[in-house]
Every structure is written in C-alpha cells, then in structure tokens.
Amino acid sequence: MLNVDAGGGDRLALAVLAQYRMTTTEQMHLLIAPEVRIEQTRRRLAKLRDEGLIERITLPQAGRTRVWFATQYGVQVASEWPELREVQPPRLIGDRTAARLRVGHALTVTETGLAFLQDARGRGDVCAPLDWIPEVYHPLGSGEAVIPDALLYYRRSKQNGASWSMLRAFVEVDRATMGPERLAAKLTAYARLYEYIPTPAPGTRRAMEQPPEENWRRRYPLFPRLLFVLDGTGPAGINNRIHALQATARKLVPAPFTQQVRILMAPLTDLLRDGPSAPVWHTVHDPDHTISWMD
C-alpha cells in the first residue's frame, strides 16, 4: 500500500500537481505548506516520486530549478478523489519532453494562481490551493470550446468580517507568444460563451415552462469576471495588448457582454509586486483607469 497520508500533505501535493499541471519546488512549498521548512516539502515530493506518482525535470538555465508534474499513474490515483472528479486531466503527463516544452506557460499560470492565493491569505479571504483550476472546458457547440488558462474561485470577506461574497474569474495568462490581435480574439470567444444556448438533442422536447438558457448558467450563478494577465514583453508591448483588447471590446463584442461582465487586464509584474487585490487592473472601457479586480 502506498504511504500516502490521506488527510494531509501527500494527498494535497499530488492533487495540486494533477490540477495545476506543473510547479517548481518553491511554488509547491508556498502553495501547500508555507509555514514549515522547505526541506519538508522537498522530502514529500521525493517520496511521491519514489512511489511513481509524480516526476520531475530540471531547468539548467534557471539555476537547475526542479519542476514537478504528476505521472499518468498519479493522475489516475488523484482523479478518484472527490475534490478532483470534475477536473480535466492534463495531457501528455509523464512525458518529460512534453513537460519541458510546456514548462514556461505552465509555471507562469501557476505563479499567477499563487499570487491570488497568497493575497487571500494576507487579506483574511478564502482561496485554497484547489480553488485555482486550470483548463476548464466550456463548450460552444460544433466541437468548439472556451478553455481558460484557469478558473478562479475566491471567497471575499467584508470589511466587518461578518459576511462574505463569492467571486469567480476566468483568467487568461498571456506571455506575448501570439500577436495582440490573436489575444484579443479570445475576448470574442468569451462573448460567444456568454450567449451560447445548446441546441436540444434530436427527439427531445423542452418543457413549456422552461425557456432556453445560456449554457454557462448551469455552472455559475453569475458569469465569471474575465482577467487577462500580461507577461513576456515590456511596457510598450503590454500597452499595445491592452489597447487591442479595448478595440475588440468596443468594435467586435456585443454591448451586453461588456456591460454585464467585468473585463480587466494587468501586467503580471504588477500583480507580483502589489498583489492582485491592488488597483493594478486596467478596465476594458478605460485602459488608463486602474481598479482592483474585486471592484
């Protein structure tokens, strides 16, 4: 029998790797056990590797940083747990070459999620490690889908601490590997998701008292906020991408979507420096105006 402590750190570490795709040793430590010495996290990861549940690659260009990911066996074990049953399993897990080719984007997505998690801890809000869910599939029909880099669940405390509000966000992490126009095209895909109503299967009849509704309403009480996190380029490049998103929102996206859904953009460097809750987010209606993503 595997020596996995079902109620503790081993299970959480494997769940995080199965869900996040990849983390460095330091990222994993900050995600699951920042209150203990990092040596304990290293030993935990080494044990899970010995059991065949996770594997690693080493990045020589980054001070021989170790990057961890779940094996196919590890994903199979974790997928049976209730907390991961609705998580889309990662592709090509266990393949070191595939892991090496995906590592840049995957670690940036993890770093973004960690920023939200640490910010929540400091504010007294609730955002657990598994509240950051990469690559959640949202169908658009005809085989098309919107798959955000991550779906964020975040429970915000009120000023008096007596009541809470639940926030959700689709997060797109852009590392400037595509042009501004292709990035902005993602905005039109989310607008389609906002309006998408599935076609009933042939031979089925909809009850008269049930009007057709958008597919996203089956999962969310409100359409999640849309956050674009920008990295991989300098201030001029980030400014170009912000204005491309603004132009798309103004010219190509139906007004009800931009009026009802909060669409924000921020440089990753600002998130890491000031925290995601700081007023570092540019609004799609006025890119020169910045607010908190919670506003």
- Which pLDDT tens digit goes with each residue over 222-267? 999 999 999 999 999 999 999 999 999 999 999 999 999 999 999 9
Of 104, 123, 147, which residue sits at a domain end?
104
Per-residue confidence band for 7, with pLDDT thresholds at 50, 70 and 90: very low
- 87 and 141 assigned to the same domain: no
What's the number of domains the chain is made of?
Answer: 2
pTM: 0.92
- 210 and 87 assigned to the same domain: no
Per-residue confidence band for 207, with pLDDT thresholds at 50, 70 and 90: low
Q: What token pair was written down for 198?
A: 């599935």
Q: Report pLDDT digits (tens) over 74-103.
A: 999 999 999 987 777 766 556 677 778 789
- 50 and 140 assigned to the same domain: no
- 143 and 283 assigned to the same domain: yes
- 140 and 286 assigned to the same domain: yes
Residue 112 lies in a domain: no
Residues 19-30 have a mean pLDDT of 97
Burial pattern 144-172, b for ≥16 Cβ within 10 A else e, equals: eebebbbbbbbebeeeeeeeeeebbbbbb
The pairing of beta strand 225-230 with beta strand 263-267: parallel
- 177 and 32 assigned to the same domain: no
CB 91 within 8 A of CB 161: no
Reply yes or no on whether the pLDDT at 202 is more than 80.
no
Q: Is 282 exposed, middle or buried (0-12, 13-18, 19+ CB in 10 A)?
A: buried
- Cα–Cα dist 207/89, whole Å: 35
- 146 and 236 assigned to the same domain: yes
Residues 129-156 have a mean pLDDT of 95
The rounded percent of the chain whose pLDDT value lies above 90 is 73
Q: Select the more confidently predicted residue: 203 or 52.
A: 52
Q: Report pLDDT digits (tens) over 155-175.
A: 998 766 557 899 999 999 999
Q: What is the CA radius of gyration of the chain?
A: 20
- 145 and 75 assigned to the same domain: no
Residues 143-150 have a mean pLDDT of 96
Question: Quick one: pLDDT at residue 235?
Answer: 93
Residue 14 lies in a domain: yes
Domain range for 271 is: 136-291
The rounded percent of the chain whose pLDDT value lies above 70 is 90
Residues 174-179 have a mean pLDDT of 91
Question: Quick one: pLDDT at residue 205?
Answer: 61
Which amino acid type is present at position 110? T
Residue 3 lies in a domain: no
Q: What's the mean per-residue pLDDT of the chain?
A: 90
Reply yes or no on whether the pLDDT at 38 is more than 80.
yes
Reply yes or no on whether the pLDDT at 52 is more than 90.
yes
Range with the poorest average pLDDT among 54-63, 115-124, 192-201: 54-63
Residue 270 lies in a domain: yes
